[in-house]
Chains A and B, each alone.
Chain A
Amino acid sequence: MKQNSMEQKHIQHLYNRAGFGINYKILNSIKSKSKKEIVSNLFSNAQKNVTLNIDISEFEIFKTKSEKQLKLELGREKIQELKKKSRKKIRELNYAWVKRFSENDTVLREKMTLFWANVFVCRDNSILHIHQYNNVLRENSLGNFSCFVKAISKEPSMIKYLNLKQSVQKKPNENFARELMELFTLGVGNYKEEDIKESARAFTGYNFKKDGTFYLRENRHDFSEKTFFGKTGNFNGDDIIDIILEQRQCAKFICTKVYTYFINPKIDENRLEEITAVFYKNYDINHLMYYIFNSDWYYNEENIGVKIKSPIELLVGIQTTIPFTFEKKQRLSYLQKMMGQILFYPVNVAGWKGGRNWIDCNTLMFRMKLAALLLNNAVINLEEKGNFEDSFDKYYKSTKKRKKYIKTVVNWNDFEKNYGQLSAIELQDLLITSTLDKDTQNLLDNLKIQSNKEFCVQLMSIPEYQLC
């Protein structure tokens, strides 16, 4: 071992937050390296942007023909059917994304994408647009924040979701302007109502073509003078975003989100100031994240194992240690629903609050049972809620008493190969980074360990495993 090699616990901490945990095999392959090497490697792997793709060819006709044309050619019913299919297809995108999370080399970019999806929250029933939107998040996730916000404002899904499509010179719709400042850049209380009114005019006429590219309907756009944050000019949408970013509060607002997501749910104001200063300089996201992960203080004890995992972090974390696949991918929807985080279906434009908000008696019991459900064929006796659009029968469809399992194919061989020979304490250290409750440590010490396989599931079932 080299003198300056990174501590194992610190590598785990880095990968827990910048990714979804680390498999022992990979840990072993990098543990002789220094922190700088490991962090740099994480970033160089993430430089490549691999778009997330699924087969959506059957919806391509929407890109070339107007709805009117399509109705004439295919009939109203066929169009309805296609739209329904399009909604369903979003689930496939969801499964593809979850799968992507467990692929190691792209992990930082994917984690960043997941983070931004909960900043620039958006929802859409069109698979074409939401697929494009997700890839725009991915493309910009480590880029320049200014370009990022501008790109978001021009995406079809966002133009629909926050009513830019209806916003015209004669009657500006303030929805986007309000959420842009309240939720995407500044936070509530850091702008005036007048700023919303004025900036809403700058975003009038935003629209998109059939193929999903942005265009400005010039005859609907308000080209006249606006006064925004004390400045006056014939501002367009991009100008407004530039002025917002001039406010230091914008850098601080985003850094606060970064802090609670990647560093610690409890904010140290001095550290927050420190990273805000870094970010405010040029709004370079890559630089900000590198600065954080490369800081010594990032690996202080108080930052390790203190964050409550999101349902996706929990689920993918298990998969990182023990590779498995679902026999029926639809079960992924069920799991996400029961734990309260369905990708592509944020609760509202404010996104998931995260942290303790993930936890109530029902979700916690479910989360603690998750490993057993996935790996040990535990019986499911809880049912997901129906949907608003469902008929009465469908709403309650799953209440019939039936023994059900999440059928998975678990690659125990892989687990045995990497973890089979480890001692109990070594295995424990690999799975738990939080401090261990004394009583629970006592319990673990007194367990008769039959196999590492079984012990692993047991470790994944204690409250400490909910933290990273």
Chain B
Amino acid sequence: MKRRDFIKQSTLASSLFFVPSFVKAFENVATTKLGYKKLVIIQLAGGNDGLNTIIPYTNDLYYKNRPSLAISKKNVLKVSDEIGFHKNLAPLKNLYDQGNLTIINNVGYPNPNRSHFRSTDIWQSASNSSEYLTTGWLGRYIDQYGKAPYTGIELDDSLSLILKGKNINGIATRNPKILYANTETPYFKKLINYQTEEHLSEHNLGYLYKTVIDAKSSAKYIFEKTNTFKSKMEYPKNPFGKQLKTTAEFINSHIESKVYYVSMGGFDTHASQATKQAKLLKTYSEAIAVFVEDLKKNDTFKDTLIITFSEFGRRVKQNAGGGTDHGAANNVFIIGDALNKKGFYNEMPNLDQLDKNGDLIHTVDFRSVYATVLDKWLAVDDSKILNKSFNKLHFI
């Protein structure tokens, strides 16, 4: 069979017979079929202020540090005698009430870095703060257990470190129709259709051709498999809502993609934080609520885990501009159906004991969260992906 016929009929998964051996080595398909579990990672980019998100409304130190920025007792959605949600997080509190939310406090890493870029690098690559990795933790998952780039999708037009592997990367798309159209231009199509498999080699040129073919196959796969499925839910009309809607359409059309990454921007609130953050939390929680509802209606929520993180939290003490500066440890939200530890996983931040910058000290290493998810949710060898073994938690 010619490559072009093969491409036409390609279902990818069954294509192994026609792929040259070096490509096969790249693919490194796991012997057992990957499960149905999906993982959605959301980054609140810029550094969300966790203390004004989940509020210790009876803590004097909280009010002392934030004379004009602290949220008053009457304005929180109380869940206990000490803790309340930001008033714009009603949809998220609703998930909490239903037992679909776990909040892990004080997540971070030793020697925290306060640069957006570097700390995002660290969270996405799962490295130490003194280590520079060029692959992401989800990228390494795809590398070792995935079959093709579509195993991991970023809801954007370019790929972040989190989905970069060594031999296979994830793929980024905001709109599968555009992604597909870009691989279907007459010239590009012609180029691919001329390819027979025999000339692929392990050199850089072979790698380029393999990536071209991967791009084309994954774009086609994602587009064709999801094209017919349109969400019936009404999502908030903003770009983040759109990203989640597209993610729901992917998941609900049962494509084999396992991991998704969405970045929501705007959280770098150095000035006039109160109104900015209130709006952002509203946008976030409303979209998440519809997303979860959409998955529930399609019976896919039971197989989906949603994790929300920020590259860092913010300083406990407010600044002069009615905002907060870059901090360290922060809370992480886990949203899912069958959570082991519903509600609060651990203690609230200790405002009595801050680091020398006046930031929260982490008590949970973010890589423990990853290890738990890899091991218990995606059912793969977490130490192989994280290059080290981390304590497992018991939220799932």
A interface residues, Cβ below 8 angstroms from B: 178, 265, 306-308, 337-338, 340, 347-350, 353, 355-357, 359-366, 368-369, 381-396, 399, 434-435, 437-440, 442-443, 458, 461-464, 466-467
Contacts and interface: CB of A to CB of B under 8 A. Distances in A.
A396 B265 contact: yes
A194 B130 CA distance: 16
B215 A265 contact: no
27 contacts: A265-B204, A306-B204, A348-B117, A348-B132, A359-B208, A360-B170, A360-B171, A360-B211, A361-B149, A361-B215, A361-B219, A362-B157, A362-B159, A364-B208, A383-B157, A388-B45, A388-B311, A389-B46, A390-B46, A392-B279, A396-B240, A434-B205, A437-B209, A439-B199, A462-B191, A463-B205, A464-B205
B86 to A, nearest CB: 16
A440 B208 contact: no
Given A364-B211, A391-B266, A437-B205, A369 B182 contact: yes
B345 interface: no
A384 B157 contact: yes
B31 interface: no
Interface in B309-350: 311
A361 B218 contact: yes
A347 B199 contact: no
By Cβ-Cβ distance, the 9 closest A-B pairs, closest first, are A395-B265, A392-B266, A388-B116, A361-B215, A350-B132, A396-B239, A360-B169, A382-B157, A463-B208
A381 B191 CA distance: 21
Contacts of B268: 388-390
B169 A467 contact: no
Contacts of B242: 399
B307 interface: no
A369 B311 CA distance: 33
A347 B121 contact: yes
Nearest to B218: A361
Nearest to B207: A356
Given A353-B134, A392-B283, A437-B209, A362 B190 contact: no
B22 interface: no
B265 A392 contact: yes
Nearest to B177: A381
Contacts of A443: 190-191, 194
A440 B190 CA distance: 9
B276 interface: yes
B203 interface: yes
A399 B215 contact: no
B212 A357 contact: no
B188 A368 contact: yes
A340 B158 contact: yes
A464 B191 CA distance: 12
B156 to A, nearest CB: 6
Nearest to B125: A348
Nearest to A383: B157
Contacts of B156: 385
Contact of B174 (A308, A383, A392, A394): A383
Contact of B121 (A348, A384, A389): A348
Interface string B213-241: 01100110000000000000000001110
Given A348-B132, A435-B205, A467-B204, A390 B121 contact: no
A102 to B, nearest CB: 25
A363 B215 CA distance: 10
Contacts of A466: 208
Given A348-B132, A391-B266, A392-B283, A362 B171 contact: yes
A177 to B, nearest CB: 12
B178 interface: yes
Interface in B36-52: 45-47
A464 B203 CA distance: 12
B183 interface: yes
B65 interface: no
B213 to A, nearest CB: 10
B199 A361 contact: no
B196 interface: yes
Contacts of A357: 134, 164
Main secondary structure, interface of B, reads helix
B204 A356 contact: yes
A178 B170 CA distance: 33
A338 B170 CA distance: 16
Interface of B: 3, 45-47, 116-118, 120-121, 130, 132, 134, 149, 156-161, 164, 169-172, 174, 178, 181-183, 185, 187-188, 190-191, 194-196, 199, 203-205, 207-209, 211-212, 214-215, 218-219, 238-240, 242, 263-266, 268, 276, 279-280, 283, 311
Contacts of B185: 369
B265 A390 contact: yes
Contacts of B3: 439
Contacts of A307: 204
A392 B195 CA distance: 44
A339 to B, nearest CB: 9
A360 B211 CA distance: 7
Given A348-B121, A362-B157, A439 B195 contact: yes
A353 B268 CA distance: 28
A463 B201 CA distance: 13
Contacts of B209: 437, 463
B46 A388 contact: yes
B211 A359 contact: yes
A388 B169 contact: no
A356 to B, nearest CB: 6
Contact of B158 (A306, A348, A349, A382): A382
Nearest to A302: B203
A439 B196 contact: yes
B239 A308 contact: no
A359 B211 CA distance: 8
A439 B159 CA distance: 29
Contacts of A434: 205
A440 to B, nearest CB: 6
A75 to B, nearest CB: 14
Contacts of B283: 392
A187 to B, nearest CB: 12
Given A348-B121, A438-B199, A363 B159 contact: yes
Nearest to B203: A306
Contacts of B161: 347
A458 B205 contact: no
B312 to A, nearest CB: 11
A229 B329 CA distance: 37
Contacts of B311: 388
B157 to A, nearest CB: 4
Among A353, A360, A391, residue most surrounded by chain B Cβ atoms (within 10 Å): A360
A399 B239 contact: yes
Contact of B215 (A365, A390, A393): A365
B130 A178 contact: yes
A212 B132 CA distance: 30
A365 B182 contact: yes
A361 B116 contact: no
Contacts of B121: 347-348
B133 to A, nearest CB: 9
B171 A337 contact: no
B266 A364 contact: no
B288 to A, nearest CB: 15
Contacts of A366: 158
Contacts of B240: 392, 396
Contacts of B194: 439-440, 442-443
Contact of A338 (B134, B158, B160, B174): B158
Most buried by A among B121, B134, B160, B174: B134
Contacts of A384: 157-158
